[in-house]
Amino acid sequence: DAKTTQPTSMDCAEGRAANLPCNHSTISGNEYVYWYRQIHSQGPQYIIHGLKNNETNEMASLIITEDRKSSTLILPHATLRDTAVYYCIVRVVETSGSRLTFGEGTQLTVNP
Amino acid sequence: NAGVMQNPRHLVRRRGQEARLRCSPMKGHSHVYWYRQLPEEGLKFMVYLQKENIIDESGMPKERFSAEFPKEGPSILRIQQVVRGDSAAYFCASARTGQETQYFGPGTRLLVL
Chain A to chain B Cβ contacts (< 8 Å): 63
CA distance B67 to chain A (A): 16
List CB contacts (< 8 A) between A4 and chain B: none
How close does chain A come to B12, measured CA to CA in Å?
Answer: 18
Chain B residue nearest residue A105, CA to CA: B42
pLDDT value at position A98? 79
Neighbours of B41 (CB within 10 A): 12
Residues B55, B48 contacting (CB under 8 angstroms): yes
Predicted local distance difference test score (pLDDT) of residue B100 = 79
Bridge partners, B104 (sequence order): B93
Query: Distance from A1 to chain B by nearest Cα, in Å?
Result: 13
SS3 A92: strand
- Portion 40-59 of B in contact with A at CB < 8 A: 42-45, 48, 50, 55-56, 59
Helix/strand/coil (H/E/C) assignment for every residue in chain B:
CCCCEEECCEEEECCCCCEEEEEECCCCCCEEEEEEECCCCCEEEEEEEECCEEEECCCCCCCCEEEECCCCCCEEEEECCCCHHHCEEEEEEEECCCCCCCEECCCEEEEEC
CB-count exposure of residue B49 (10 Å: 0-12, 13-18, 19+): buried
- Kindly report, residue by residue over A46-104, the tens digit of the pLDDT: 999 999 989 999 999 999 999 999 999 999 999 999 999 999 999 877 656 778 999 99
Question: Which residues of chain A have a CB within 8 Å of the CB of B101?
Answer: 34, 46, 49
- Of B4, B31, B43, which to mutate for an interface test with A (greatest number of A Cβ within 10 Å)? B43
Distances in Å between the alpha carbon of B25 and those of A106, B1, B44? 28, 11, 19
| Region of residue B40 (left: phi > 0; alpha: psi -120 to 50; beta: else) | left
CB A104 within 8 A of CB B42: yes
d(CA A66, CA A57) in angstroms, rounded, equals 20
Q: Identify the pLDDT of residue A38.
A: 96
* Span A11-15, average pLDDT: 97
- Residue A61 has φ and ψ, to the nearest 5°, of -120, 145
Residue B98 in this model has a pLDDT that exceeds 70? no
pLDDT tens digit sequence for B19-78:
999 999 999 899 999 999 998 888 999 999 998 899 999 999 989 999 999 999 999 999
Q: Do A101 and B45 touch (CB under 8 A)?
A: yes
